[in-house]
Structure 1
Amino acid sequence: MTLAIFDLDNTLIAGDSDHLWGEYLCTQNMVDETQFRAANEGFYADYQRGELDIQAYLAFALAPLAGRSPESLRELQTSFLKDCIEPILLSAAAGLIQEHRSRGDRLLIITATNEFVTAPIARLLGIEELLGCAVEVANGVLTGRPTGTLTYREGKVARLKEWLIEEGESLEGAWFYSDSHNDLPLLEVVDNPVAVDADPTLSHIAQDRGWPQISLRA
């Protein structure tokens, strides 16, 4: 069975769910809007430059969830999907997913965005398997801390290797679709790297290396 691995943000959806979640929290009066929005924008700019401190970002992004049970946040997750994610779904992305499913490939999303935000999105896309930054739960509530291998840059490769061992899978013939130069470490280890609506840095690298470049937004 061949793996078809997908980045999520700005690849399968036409936006960044992590950044959008931060904006959504501001609209729900769960944070200090002015300070939180400014920090959210700053971290997003760091990410785009490839300079994100993932530990610092997760400490910031998960803090509003600390002390809350996952169940108490279900309604918020549902409204976030409806208001922010459904409008940026891509029909071409659904077609690409279905193409790989029809081939019998095993579908996997791997994303730097935390799993609290992305698990419902993966289900919405019809992909059951997800690797993201895991969120710690203790005594029935979110602690506001990440746990395990963080799926950002080289961490995506490390976490994927752990998963391959756990699942008895291999990367032979694997595909990986991404928009971001931050995913270069993983793009370099698969047999079939594909740049999707790539940022300028990744687009130049893909052109130099002869990697396919596609758009799911056309």
Structure 2
Amino acid sequence: MKLTLFDLDHTLINTDSDYEWGVFTTALGWNDAADFARQNDAYYQHYKAGTLDIHDYMRFATRAIRQQGASKSEAAHADFMRSVVQKAIKPQALDLVRQHQAAGDVVVIVTATNEFVTRPIADAFGVPDLIAVNLVRDPASGWFTGEIDGTPSFREGKIARVQAWLAERQLDWADVDSTFYSDSINDLPLLEQVNHPVATNPDDRLRAIAQARGWRILELFH
């Protein structure tokens, strides 16, 4: 089985969906603009540096939707898809996904962004298999609590989550010919795990490693 894994932010789309969602909800008046921008920028810098506390960040990132509730949040996300995300989905990224699907590959998006933000984006790419950060739901309300459910698909956690996905299908790494596209140094563990790592629009640290190791480098948005 050929398994093709894609990171999402700055890999398949030329922006960070979680960051942009924060900007979008701030424009709706759901966050204190100055305070949110300061914290959002700080978390983003930690992410790029590989020092992000994913649990702390997830509480911050879901605060607005937890306060607003499901109906308002889902309606806002539909607007977000139309006004922000669709512009970030470029033809060359769609073509790359479809080329792998047409070749018979099983395509999975593996992202450290939460399921609420990313499920509609994966759908827009025509990818049913999404491994994202799952969120705990309150039994009474059915809405998110801000806590992470299970292992977050972040750094080494991406390997664990893909491993679990394979196990659900009675497979292991040895049973698949695996490819992973990613831009981020945070994804180095999974890039090292797969048969075919592809540094895609790579950050400076990942680019240096890819060049040193002879990995393929793909500039998808150039």
Could you say what secondary structure the match of 1:66 adopts? helix
Residue 173 of structure 1 corresponds to which residue in structure 2?
177
Contact 2:55 2:147 in 1 (8 A): no
User: Deviation digits for residues 129-156 of structure 1, max 9, x if unmatched?
Assistant: 1011101222222222221110110111
Please list every run of 5 or more consecutive structure 1 residues that lacks an aligned counterpart in the other structure. Answer: none
Residue 189 of structure 1 corresponds to which residue in structure 2?
193
Could you say what secondary structure the match of 1:3 adopts? strand
Matched, 1:34 2:45: no
Deviation at 1:33, TM superposition (A): 1.3
Residue 152 of structure 2 corresponds to which residue in structure 1?
150
Deviation at 1:99, TM superposition (A): 0.9
Deviation at 1:73, TM superposition (A): 2.1
Contact 1:5 1:108 in 2 (8 A): yes
Deviation at 1:167, TM superposition (A): 2.2
Distance 1:67 1:13 in 2: 28
Residue 210 of structure 1 corresponds to which residue in structure 2?
214
TM-score by length of 2: 0.94
Residue 24 of structure 1 corresponds to which residue in structure 2?
24
RMSD over equivalenced CA pairs, Å: 1.2
Code of the aligned partner of 1:146: I
Could you say what secondary structure the match of 1:182 adopts? helix
Code of the aligned partner of 1:191: N
Distance 1:133 1:90 in 2: 24
Distance 1:144 1:95 in 2: 35
Residue 96 of structure 2 corresponds to which residue in structure 1?
96
Code of the aligned partner of 2:76: L
Matched, 1:200 2:204: yes
Distance 2:100 2:70 in 1: 32
Deviation at 1:69, TM superposition (A): 4.6
Contact 1:62 1:145 in 2 (8 A): no
Residue 113 of structure 1 corresponds to which residue in structure 2?
113
Counterparts of 1:40-119 in structure 2, within 5 Å, are 40-66=40-66, 69-119=69-119
Could you say what secondary structure the match of 1:51 adopts? coil
Residue 136 of structure 1 corresponds to which residue in structure 2?
136
User: Deviation digits for residues 174-203 of structure 1, max 9, x if unmatched?
Assistant: 110000011000000000100111001000
Distance 1:29 1:48 in 2: 27
Runs of 4 or more, structure 1, over 4 Å off, are none
TM-score by length of 1: 0.96
Instruction: Determine what percentage of the aligned residue pairs are the same residue.
Output: 39
Deviation at 1:169, TM superposition (A): 3.1
Contact 2:182 2:202 in 1 (8 A): yes
Code of the aligned partner of 2:101: R
Distance 1:53 1:144 in 2: 14
Please list every run of 5 or more consecutive structure 2 residues that lacks an aligned counterpart in the other structure. Answer: none
Could you say what secondary structure the match of 2:55 adopts? helix
Contact 1:112 1:150 in 2 (8 A): yes
